[in-house]
Amino acid sequence: MKVNFKEIQEKLGKKFLPLVLVVLSLLLFFLMSGSIHQKQQVFKEGQLAEETIRANKTIENKKETEDKQQLAKESVPPEYTYDANKAKNQVNLVTSLFDMIQKTNAEAEKKYNDELDKAKDKKTVNEISVEERIPMLKSQFEKLNPNDLTYFQSYPDSFYEQLFSFSADELKRVREQSLTVVDEVMNKKIRNSTLQVEKQTAKERLQYVDITTSMRQAINTIIDKSIVVNEIANEKVTEQLKENAKNNVQPVMIYQGEIIVREGEQIDAKAMEKIKVLGLTNQSTSVFPMLALILTLILQISLIIYITKTQDNSKDKIKNILFYACSILVAIFFMKLLYLFQKDTFSNVALLFPAAFVPVILTMFMNRKWGLLVAMFQSIFSIFIFYNLAGTTSLLVITLYYAFTGCIATFLVKRRIESQIKSAFFLLIIVPVLFIAILTAYQGLDFGDSKTLTSLFIASASGIFSFILSIGLHPYIELMLNDDSVIVLNELSNPNQPLLKRLLQEAPGTYHHSMMVASLSANAVAEIGGRSLLTRVACYYHDIGKIKHANFFVENLPDGAENPHNFLLPSDSKEIIFSHVTEGVKILEEANMPQFVIDVCQQHHGTTLMKYFYIKEKERNEETQEETFRYPGPKPQSREAGVINIADSAEAAVRAMDHPTNAKIAEFVHNLIRSRLEDGQLNESGLTLDEIALVEKSIVDGLCSTFHSRIKYPKMKSEAEKMKQEQEGRKV
C-alpha cells in the first residue's frame, strides 16, 4: 500500500518537482479564489438582500461625516457676553429720572413762591401746572449724553404727567420700588429670550406691594423702559465654537468587513448610500486580493524549494514535497467546507478547524521545518478563505488561532503520539483553549457571554479533533508513506505469514533461532530507545535465506544426521553459508518486504570473518586471504542492525554451549562485543558506548533467563562439540 514516489519521479524526470509545485499552486488558487471573487450584483433601495453585504474596503463616508458635522455645529449653544455694568447704568438712569422730577418740582415750587411774593393779588397767581413742568423737565435733557437722552425720550409725556401728579410721599414710594425692582432684576443675566419673562415676573411681584394702581402703572412703565438685555450673543465666538465642534467630529468610516445589510434584510436609504460610497453598485473583481493570493503561493513555492535544498537526506525530498502538497490541500479543502457552513450569526465555526493536525503529522513523518511551514501557510491562507470577514476581529482571532495552534503542535517530539499522550493533550487541547481565553480577555468580552462560551467550546472541540485524528490516522498515513508501518509490521509478525510458515516448515531450527534473536534484540533496542517492533520483525526474517539450503545449517539437521559440511571443501561450505544472506535479500525483495527488513538481512553478519572454515582452508592453502572468508556486508548501518548483529551470534553460540552458566554467558557476550568493536563491525551503526553497555546487559539477562540449562538443536551427539566450534567460527 506504500506510495512509490521514486517510480513516479523516474517517469517524469526533471519535470517532476516543477510539475508538483505548479499543480499544488493551481489547486490552492482554485480553492481560495472563489472566496475573494466579488460577484456582479445590482442593488436597489427597498429590495431584500440576497446575501449579507459587507464592505469591500475601508473608506470614509463623506455624506454621513458632513451630516454629523452639521449636527455638531447646530448643537453648539450661542455664546453670550454678560455686561456687569448694565445694571448699575440702568439704576443710575432711574435715579436720574427721579432726581430730575424732584428738581423740576422744586423749581416749579420756587417759581410759584416767587410769583406769589411779587403779586399784589395773591389770588391771581396760580401754581405751576403739570403741562408747564414738562418743558421745565425736558430743558434738563439738554445736558444729557445721547445714550442717556434716548432713554428719557422713550417715556411718553403722559408718564411724566403721571409722575408730576404724585405727591412727594407717593413719588418717593414709586422711586424706592422702581430702584429696588430694576436693581434686583438687572443683576440677573438677561437675554433676548428671557427679557419679557423677567419683566413680567417683576410686574407680578408688584401685585403684593401696598401701592396705588396709578403708582403701579408708573413703576410698570419704568420696568418696561429700564430692564434691558445685559447678556448679548457673541456671534464671533459662537461661530468659532461651531467651527471647533465641526473639526472635532471624527470622520465616519466604513471599515472593510463591516456588515452593511444582513441577508434577508431590506436595503434602506442609509445602506444604499454606503453601497454607493463603496462602489458596490458597479462592483467588479478586485485585482489586489487576487494578486496577494498569487504572491502568497509564490512565497510558498520559494520556501518549499529552500527547505528541500537545505535538507540532509536528499532521497526524501520528493516524498516530503508530495506529502506536504497533499496535506496542505486537505487542510485548505476542510477550511473551505467550514467557510461554506459559516453564517454571520455563527462566524466562530471556523475555529472548529483542526489547525494542529497537519503540523503534527508533518512533524512526525518529516521534520519540524515542514510542520512550521504548513502551520504558517494554514493561517495565511485563512485570510483568503474567510475573506468575507476581512477587517473584522473575527478574522484576526481565526488567523492568530490557526498560527498559534499549528506552531505549538510542532513542539511534540518526533515519535508516536501514543507515547506522549500527556504532552499531546496539553499542547493540542489545553494550550489552544487558553489562547482563545487570552484573545477573549484582550477584546474585553464577557466570559459569561454565550458567544464567548461557544468560542471556548469550539476551540476545545478543535483541539480534541486534532488529538483524535493524529492518533487515529497515524497508522494509515504511515502505511501510505513508509513500508515499515505498524500495520505492515503487525501483519508480518503473524505466524501465518507465508514466509514464516515456510521457514517453520523447511528450517524449524532457524525459525526458533530467529524467534529467540527477535526477543533478545527487541528488548535490547527498547532499552536504548530504538524501534523495538521493527527490530523484532526484522529478526523474524533475517535468516530467511537458509530455506534454500536448510540442511546445510546445523540447527536444522535432524537427529542422527551427518553434517553435510564434512563432505565439502571449506570454500564450498563458505559459499553455501554466504548464500543465506544473498538469497535472503533476494527472497525478501521478491516479497516486497520493508527495506529495513532487507537491510537487516544483508547487514546482520556485517563483514565478520567465517573463522572456522577460514582456518580449515588456511590449513589446505597457506595463500588463502582472510577477505575471501568475510561476509560481503555491509556493516550494520543502524543501531537496530548493530544490536541484531550481536544478539544473533550470542544466541547461536550460547545455545550450543555446554552447561551454560550466568557467568559463562556474561563473559562470552562481553568478549563477543569487544571482538566486534575491535573488528570495527559497529563503527557505522551509530551505537554509543553507553548504549552498547545497555545492550550487553539486556542480552545477557535474556540469555541467562533462557539458557539456565544446556539445550541444543537436534544433532548427532558425536558431532556436538564439533558443531559448537563450527557455530563459533561462523558467528564470531
pLDDT digits (tens, 9 = 90+) for 42-63: 677 777 776 677 676 677 778 8
Question: Rounded to the nearest 10 degrees, how much is the dihedral formed by the CA atoms of 316, 321, 322, 324?
Answer: 120
Question: Do 206 and 181 touch, CB atoms closer than 8 A?
Answer: yes
Domain count, the chain: 4
- Statement: residue 281 has pLDDT above 70: no
Residues 420 and 523 in one domain: no
**Which of 478, 497, 529 is where one domain is finished?**
478
Local confidence band at 250 (pLDDT 50, 70, 90 cut-offs): confident
Q: What percent of the chain has pLDDT over 90?
A: 23
Whole-prediction pTM:
0.62
- What residues make up the domain containing 265? 44-61+252-277
Residues 550 and 644 in one domain: yes
In a domain, 72, yes or no: no
CA distance 692 to 450: 60
Residues 32 and 54 in one domain: no
Least confident of 59-63, 334-338, 358-362: 59-63
Local confidence band at 666 (pLDDT 50, 70, 90 cut-offs): very high
Higher pLDDT, 248 or 6: 248
Phi-psi region of 612 (alpha: psi -120 to 50; beta: other; left: phi over 0): alpha
As a whole number, the mean pLDDT across the chain is 83
Mean pLDDT of 154-159: 88
Mean pLDDT of 694-699: 94
**C-alpha angle 684-687-691 in degrees, rounded to nearest 5:** 170
Least confident of 235-244, 561-570, 599-608: 561-570
pLDDT tens per residue across span 393-427:
778 888 999 999 999 999 988 877 777 889 889 99
pLDDT of 315: 63
432 contacts: CB under 8 Å, gap ≥ 6: 355, 356, 401, 404, 405, 408, 459, 462, 463
- Statement: residue 238 has pLDDT above 50: yes
- Helix (H) or strand (E) holding 113, with range, is helix 85-118
Residues 498 and 418 in one domain: no
Cell reading at 479: 502505511
Mean pLDDT of 555-583: 81
- Statement: residue 715 has pLDDT above 60: no
Helix (H, G, I), strand (E, B) or coil at 54: strand
Residues 501 and 448 in one domain: no
CA distance 568 to 574: 10
Handedness of CA 93, 98, 104, 106 (dihedral sign): negative
Mean pLDDT of 643-662: 88
pLDDT of 690: 93
pLDDT tens per residue across span 671-692:
999 999 999 999 999 999 999 9
Residues 271 and 369 in one domain: no
Mean pLDDT of 86-108: 87
Cell reading at 205: 411681584
pLDDT tens per residue across span 626-635:
888 888 889 9
CATH of the domain at 526: 1.10.3210
Residues 470 and 555 in one domain: no
E-assigned strand segments in 310-386: none
Handedness of CA 457, 462, 464, 465 (dihedral sign): positive
Residues 682 and 550 in one domain: yes
CA distance 537 to 522: 9
Residues 213 and 308 in one domain: no
Higher pLDDT, 392 or 454: 454
In a domain, 66, yes or no: no
Mean pLDDT of 442-456: 77
Local confidence band at 257 (pLDDT 50, 70, 90 cut-offs): low
Mean pLDDT of 665-669: 92
- Statement: residue 202 has pLDDT above 50: yes
pLDDT of 635: 92
In a domain, 240, yes or no: no
**Which of 478, 506, 521 is where one domain is finished?**
478
Residues 641 and 523 in one domain: yes
In a domain, 658, yes or no: yes
The CA-to-CA distance between both ends of the chain, in Å, stands at 39
pLDDT of 130: 80
Local confidence band at 1 (pLDDT 50, 70, 90 cut-offs): very low
Residues 98 and 56 in one domain: no
pLDDT of 296: 93
Residues 193 and 111 in one domain: yes
